[in-house]
Amino acid sequence: MFKFLLLAALALCSVSTQADGASDSATVVLTEGAGRLDISRHLTYYEDVSSSLNISDVIQRWPEIGSGQLPDEAYNFGFTDSAYWFHTRVENRSSPNNRWVLEGLYPIIDEMELFVVTEQGRFTRQISGDSVPFTMRPRDHHNINFELMLPPGDSADLYFRVKTSGAVQMRMLLWHSDVFAQADHQERFLLGLYNGLLVSMVIFNLLIFISFRDTNYLWYVSYILTYGTLQFTLNGLAFEHLWPELPWWNNRAVAFLIAAGMFCVLGFSRSFLALWENAPLLNRVFKAFMAFFVVAGAAALLSPEYGPVIRLNTFVAAVAVALVIAAGGVCLYRRFRPARYFMVAWTALLSGMLLYTLKTFGVVPANFVTEFGIQIGSAFEVILLSIALADRLRHMNLKTQRMQQEMNERLESRVAERTSELEQVNRQLEALSSTDGLTGVFNRRYFDTRLAEETARTRRQGPMALIMIDVDHFKAFNDDFGHLAGDACLRQLADMLTAIVRRETDIVTRYGGEEFAIILPYTDADGARHLAETLRSKVEGEMKFTWDGKAIPVTVSIGLATIPSGSRVEPDEAIAAADEALYSSKQAGRNRVTERQLASSGPKASGQALTELLAGRSGNE
């Protein structure tokens, strides 16, 4: 979730990228077409354990102290207290450009010095790093950079001295100055989009918190803020734009933000997953880790030794991340619904990290997706977590609605003992609920309201259709397997109906008992007929209902009433037509669709149709 994962990964593995046109020799050769060269594999090195050598000592002794062999990939010495010296030679054989830029791709190195030694033995010194004032950099750029003047025909020896409390990583690029400016422009555009996404998510979720006062959103906002600031610091943009005159703070910001960020991650995960209910033991472990990161954040600011603090923070953060993933897996195993999005979000981030790592080892090619894998993965993670919060809020609302429904049922059993005032309160509570407590779809009350609205609309514009669905032989089903099995069957059927009927305007309701009704606004006869047949066939072929380990076939009979645009049809008339079609399906052998098309009629015709239907039912029964 946090880019400290990248910090930990880079501290344990090295980075390799193929050079664009560079050879494998110790000398970097500049030709006419050279624009960007990876010189990481052209460096030899020496570890100065005592950090006592100066440039004169190094130049004089390099033939005997230099490593002599070139690396297969960029150097990565992890966390170390030693100073490291690196050397390469650059020859401008045929490039007309004499202005070049050296870029270090690990921006949180404390100090990196460059000594350029000419053929005449003179040398110049430049210094950069996240503990050096930003104004000392040759270019205003978030990565460590140096300028190199090398006219055609000249050559120079480059000596780098690296001293840092963090990891020593030596991924170096040599750029044509114009190519560097163009690449920097494109990179800043992409980083701007990415950081803009983070800012928009902060504002959006902060507004939701203000509206709903759900602490999960406050934890999420704090997580994105610390995450975004940590990324801004890790890639050097914070030092460039936020605190260029505060190298002391910039040097300690990573350790502090790792601690603050992990505190927020653990707090958000603990709250989102409701660990006090779903995993009480993990909840106590999370609290202990959160207490540790409070102390670690203070130590990052107050401790005189920065190196041990960032190493400890990075290690414990990696352990805490594994703990968060384990907590999500436990909650998912225990069927805590919001944990699904939570784990998908983490998977997106880890997938992005995996792509980036595979790219660095040359397993997959370098392209936009692999180069920005971590940013892409974390962007999806942020979006998915926001969706997860919305889904969790919806889930809690549904749970509240079910609780309200149960309360209503308990109140109904005491209606005879209550006063008229309590009866009024009960009716108000019932009016608040529009969801069927058993199946989770809309209930009969909501159906009646919306059907009246849609039949009125049909008089003015657009056709509509009404589908009535009845589970075949449901009474025998309950008698054979029990009402619990019947309830489970209805819930599964409701889930299937809502999965198939996806238009936002369509309304799936439980009409009563084992009957469901679907209102289809703006749907002509062909579309309604196709949907009804799809529902019937999918229930028959794909609804795999099992009870006590036994597979039980389920089929439905469907009645369809279609209403052309401009028809004056009353709600009762539409129900009567769909009900008549449903009973025709049952009489014809069940597991089929029967259609009735309504033309314009008035209240009298509606009442007559309903009377005839009831008479027909009485005769059939």
Tokens 């270090």 -> residue: 104
Of 534, 337, 573, give the one whose Cα is nearest residue 456. Answer: 573
Sequence-distant (6+) residues with CB within 8 A of 616 are 580, 583
Phi, psi (5° rounding) for residue 139? Answer: -125, 145
How far is it, in rounded angstroms, from Cα 322 to Cα 318? 6
556-563 and 593-597 as β-strands: parallel, antiparallel, unpaired?
parallel
Instruction: Quote the tokens at residue 425.
Output: 């309160």
H-run or E-run covering 588: none
Q: What is the DSSP string of 149-199?
A: E--TT-EEEEEEEEE-SSEEEE-EEEEEHHHHHHHHHHHHHHHHHHHHHHH
DSSP string, 519-577: EEET--HHHHHHHHHHHHHHHHHH--EEETTEEE---EEEEEEEE-TT----HHHHHHH
Residue among 228, 196, 267 nearest 378 (CA): 228
| Catalytic annotation present for 421 | no
CA distance 237 to 258: 17
- Please give the helix or strand (H or E) that residue 104 lies within, else none: strand 99-104
Say if CB 160 and CB 113 are below 8 A apart.
Answer: yes
DSSP letter, residue 22: -
Residue of 113, 514, 573, 580 marked active site: 514
User: What is the set of active-site residues?
Assistant: 514
